[in-house]
Chain A
Amino acid sequence: MSTPILSVRGLNAGYGDFQALFGIDLDLPEGGLLGLVGANGAGKSTLFKAILGLLPRGRDMVTFRGQPIGHLRTEAMLRLGIALVPEGRRLFRSLSVEENLKLAAESGRRGEWTVTRVFDLFPALREKRHAASTALSGGQQQMVAIGRALVSNPSVILFDEISLGLAPIIVNDVYAAMPAILGSGISAIVVEQDVERIRRMADRLVCLNEGRVVLSGPTGDFTKAQITHAYFGE
């Protein structure tokens, strides 16, 4: 197997005295889509925060293209090529739609993804480009959040809870953009509560329970029952 684009080895992380992750191992192959599942509080968002350096982690616990990056600051991650679509969207409230995208475009890398191309991918955003980000529907906000990751031209995007709080039909719209995103050579880790959907999309699956990896491997290796089992930690 060629070197994974992003690897996590023996990652421990937490908040102050509270340890939330215990020895996490995880590999994201180049061009792959890794589904990350687990119940609330299993440590999925914490794992993303630790990868990005929003929580302290050791130098060698995270490697990117084979190089240790655990000692780098969060703000260096985007330029390195790791972008985040955060849980709950977390758009910048006092920035317009276009400003949200511009901010990421300016601090990220140059490449094929531009603000214009994001508007092509999500035409609904073009007409609202000058609107306050708070004035958008949930689905449109999610599109801005995804666009904000794309315009930095990342190699890896960490998607946290794409469909949380969105109507099913909107979720389909949002996921409809996935092929275009992956087609441009981006690798992704996707946190998704809808296990059926993630099984259809992901090449590999990792399931967390109480801060530990309880299941990990190619998606085809597991039945739905096995995943559900691991998910609930039974």
Chain B
Amino acid sequence: MSNTTLRVVLGLTVAALILATAPLWAGRADLRLIGEMMSYLALAVLWNLLAGYAGLMSVGQHAFVGLGGYVLVIGTVSMGLPPLATLPIAFVVAGLAAAAFALLLFRLVGAYFAIGTWVAAESVALVFAGVPAWGGGAGISLPADVVRSIAETREMREFVVYWLLCGLGIGTLSAAYTLIRSKPGLALMALRDNPTAAVSVGVNISRIRFWTYVMVAALTSVVGAIIFLQKLRVSPQAAFSLQDWTVAVIFIVVIGGIGRLEGAIVGTAVYFLLRETLSGYGVFYLIVLGVVAILVVSFSGRGIWGLVERHLGWSLLPTGRRMSA
């Protein structure tokens, strides 16, 4: 193991330990907030892989968050499964759905792919809203016995969900880091830095894009399932919320730094800082985030982390590879 890898592993382990012990030192509200941050960190890392590395600008990832939420509820309510057993099912169902969508949406040229993913998400939401057995437009709650099967006391349940969310955040980050340093990751980096050159060195762009899309969707769905394990209730509105699962995530990555793993971390911090500070002013924080994102894209392009990297030469998660066009 190289020196830098060792440092990263150590860093992530320390972060995981601090987070894992939070129930000992943090209050209930703080725990909830950290948990939420972790879920956004996971979503942001995943969307960053999709858009920042594979160049797949999806604005329809809320399809898979919602799908995960619904698989959790349907699996536990209709099929009597324990909540955790629904996670692999969510993974597979979303993966298959993404594969089907990819076959159609990858036919859309350039930027039209983005809106295509949105239509896909709208369609999935309409399907779930249209089935009365799954609560229709009103949604459906996890029954009490399912909730109790997570843990007996409310406090313990919150701890379990919190740990799951932390595992998800740190786990996704570590997995993405490992991926970027692997051979397929090298292809992803090449794709990010110069798609034309990537083809000429033998990267099969459509295959790597297909698998990135499918895997990111599958994992996004697992994140969704755990998010709704905390909320204990799904409705089409909440599960397939463009605002919560796509807009926020895109702003996080764009402001933090698209195409840089650290971007998701920095962006999540900035997003929650703004949201919590401006919480008294309604949706004003979204306007601020939108303006900041527009400025970042127009003037810097690589977000806050891109600036840090360029001017200070820092790297939190050194990938050991720098490819310039």
Contacts and interface: CB of A to CB of B under 8 A. Distances in A.
Interface in B271-325: 324-325
B193 to A, nearest CB: 12
Contacts of A165: none
Interface of A: prevailing SS = loop
A17 B193 CA distance: 14
Contacts of A17: 324-325
A179 interface: no
A16 B324 CA distance: 10
| Contact count band on B | under 10
A17 B322 CA distance: 14
A55 to B, nearest CB: 15
Interface in B248-290: none
Nearest to A15: B325
A17 B325 CA distance: 8
Interface in A16-59: 16-17
A15 to B, nearest CB: 9
B324 to A, nearest CB: 6
Contacts of A16: 325
Nearest to A17: B324
A16 B194 CA distance: 13
A41 to B, nearest CB: 16
Nearest to A16: B325
B322 to A, nearest CB: 12
Contacts of B325: 16-17
Contacts of B324: 17
Nearest to A18: B325
A220 to B, nearest CB: 44
A17 B324 CA distance: 9
Interface in A146-175: none
A97 B139 CA distance: 62
B213 to A, nearest CB: 29
Nearest to B325: A16
B325 to A, nearest CB: 6
A97 B300 CA distance: 42
Nearest to B324: A17
B310 to A, nearest CB: 13
A193 to B, nearest CB: 25
A47 to B, nearest CB: 22
A132 B186 CA distance: 43
A40 to B, nearest CB: 17
B67 to A, nearest CB: 41
A52 B292 CA distance: 36
Interface in B181-232: none
B197 to A, nearest CB: 13
Interface string A1-25: 0000000000000001100000000
A47 B18 CA distance: 59
A47 B189 CA distance: 32
A17 B323 CA distance: 12
Interface string B72-114: 0000000000000000000000000000000000000000000
A17 to B, nearest CB: 6
B194 to A, nearest CB: 11
A83 B325 CA distance: 31
A90 to B, nearest CB: 18
A25 B324 CA distance: 30
A32 B315 CA distance: 56
A206 B325 CA distance: 30
A67 to B, nearest CB: 33
B192 to A, nearest CB: 16
A94 B188 CA distance: 35
A16 B325 CA distance: 8
A18 to B, nearest CB: 9
A141 to B, nearest CB: 25
Interface in B166-188: none
A17 B194 CA distance: 14
A39 B325 CA distance: 24
The 3 lowest CB-CB distance pairs between A and B, nearest first, are: A16-B325, A17-B324, A17-B325
3 contacts: A16-B325, A17-B324, A17-B325
Interface of A: 16-17
Interface of B: 324-325
